[in-house]
Structure 1
């Protein structure tokens, strides 16, 4: 590897580090940009701070100007393909062209058909474009946003908080608290990163959740996700969901795909499904769960409400097999983060191949 390639890879690593400073939530991706001179010096840096703010490339150009640096002939190292459309801000592809940048190195090509085309625009203007530099790391930083835009629906995380024998409540219905304070704090941190949280209408009736994101001191986090209630039962006027926190959205359906379509229209990129068991089963049977975060406490109940209702699985051969990605200790509990495989193309049957996908989506949702 020559010095130029090494400088390029170091700059991409720095751009990815900058991208991580951006918010995990919101309709826009995390993006970082580093401008390099011909001899490998950093001329400017930038990252995207969220919807409506300057994009990473424009921020890097502004940073270079503030430093008094000349970017003509420079290389722009960007974690995501520069956009080529005018939304809340102008197209980054044209900003780079107008600035006289000679080369652009890109980690990940933009899967969004509305914003993509920046690489082609740059090439047409005579700019040398390299793609696929640290692509895996780039997609990892983009996280749920990349999956949501590529698939045309929100990335879905199913959260479970259970006893060791898979119960979310005791026989008398009590459930506070099965998991530890450490697990609850981690779950609140997750809420502060997602765009929306969904629960079933039955859970609203029984548990009256607030669905807010709070810090370790119990104060409301700066970002509050949409609070989504799924099902035909009305939300009681006195429900805590009508109090402080994110906007309340009631989706009067039992079909997870209708929920995701509505949220996609609202530019929700990451949906956290929190319960109850019927809603969890409906999303699993519909084949739209991408990730499961299971908080498991060393508690045995022996009876009570299961974490997931009937999935229509009649034998072990039909079991949903997940791929563990992370196992972490949280106080006395264990967090297991797993991913499911790609969505099934046959949506007429459940995991066992015999049961309709939404059969368990009853009035309990």
Structure 2
């Protein structure tokens, strides 16, 4: 199962709105096939692994990180492929919460005479697909808030710009981008830092996450570096954004979508998340800045936190979070983990989990 989990992890950011799944076929204690979910419309992990195993799958065991599907969608049911391959036993980590599956795949396999086991490495498998689980349950993406700050809570010096953390923290941040379906920032960060919002170095498949800029008045400069980078850029503005601003950005290659605004005329964060969910983006990495991060926390939209802390003090500068209205209640990370990234610290944890019943 640990190998299947590693395979699933490698597919993160490449399968939504489908889950990232890993599968391994064993025969006489030996791996004879393995697979990961292909991009949308492609084969599921089980089919890839069974094809690689060929006749060696007959009488073997299929280990998979998510319950196999038993319905036809863009691909045929995996359960039928499993039975045709002659698999004797299926070990699944967690059930698929999709109402079209939801235990039906495992029941179908049991009815076909296979031995079925559920729950191996359930928590680890669930965490990999919290984005998919939340998207199925709420039609909204799983949101990770990520920022880097000093010991005195500053994300930039008084004049803005300049790195807060070191190379190891930056490398970890790029790993998070690579696993995300979308990376989201506010217009303040876009104009101040002019980020590229790409995964660097580029992954082997050259895939880049969807870039999202929350920009109520469509102020993003057409010279923004991200517009010249591979991969799509989505600008979420309010319905009241000047039309000439919108057309200018569209001409520069951005996709612009007008969404509902709050009472202050700013594009409403719930509308942004609903739009991303409609697009099948299951995992969204919010990289700030202070205004957008604060809005996400104030709206109770954050599911996971990643805070890099540099062992330094600025004394002044840009605060990590702006919360003009405060929080309705204090937020705690019940399972916070503290680690190192080079000279910096990483505090991470979940504010909200989406565990199936088999996770104990």
Deviations 1:275-326 (A, max 9, x none): 1111111111111101111111122222222111116338xx9322223533
Query: Could you say which residue in structure 2 is the equivalent of 1:228?
Result: 212
d(CA) in 1 for partners of 2:72, 2:100: 10
2:337 matches 1:326: yes
Greater radius of gyration (CA) = 1
Structure 1 segment 171-320 matched on structure 2, within 5 A: 171=158, 173-215=159-201, 222-234=206-218, 235-253=220-238, 254-310=267-323, 312-313=325-326, 318-320=329-331
d(CA) in 1 for partners of 2:304, 2:19: 19
* Residues 214 and 221 in structure 1, CA contact (< 8 A), matched pair in contact too: no
Query: Could you say which residue in structure 2 is the equivalent of 1:6?
Result: none
d(CA) in 2 for partners of 1:60, 1:239: 43
Unmatched 5+ residue regions in structure 2?
A: 239-266, 355-360
* Residues 35 and 49 in structure 2, CA contact (< 8 A), matched pair in contact too: yes
Query: Could you say which residue in structure 1 is the equivalent of 2:149?
Result: 162
Q: 2:185 aligns to what SS in structure 1?
A: strand
Deviations 1:141-183 (A, max 9, x none): 4454444444432111111111210012223x32312222332
2:121 matches 1:134: yes
d(CA) in 1 for partners of 2:25, 2:178: 32
Q: 1:207 to 1:60 in 2, by over 3 A?
A: closer
d(CA) in 2 for partners of 1:273, 1:70: 42
Query: Could you say which residue in structure 2 is the equivalent of 1:357?
Result: none
Query: How far off its partner does 1:92 sit?
Result: 0.3
Query: Could you say which residue in structure 2 is the equivalent of 1:30?
Result: 20
Q: 1:321 aligns to what SS in structure 2?
A: coil
* Residues 50 and 57 in structure 2, CA contact (< 8 A), matched pair in contact too: no
Query: How far off its partner does 1:88 sit?
Result: 3.7
Q: 1:80 aligns to what SS in structure 2?
A: coil
Q: 1:286 to 1:74 in 2, by over 3 A?
A: same
d(CA) in 1 for partners of 2:285, 2:163: 20
Query: How far off its partner does 1:43 sit?
Result: 6.8
Residue range with higher mean Cα deviation, 294-303 or 156-165: 294-303
TM-score by length of 1: 0.78
d(CA) in 1 for partners of 2:337, 2:168: 17
Residue range with higher mean Cα deviation, 143-152 or 258-267: 143-152
Unmatched 5+ residue regions in structure 1?
A: 1-11, 344-365
Q: 1:282 to 1:128 in 2, by over 3 A?
A: same
Q: 1:35 to 1:275 in 2, by over 3 A?
A: closer
Query: Could you say which residue in structure 1 is the equivalent of 2:43?
Result: 54
Q: 1:76 to 1:213 in 2, by over 3 A?
A: closer
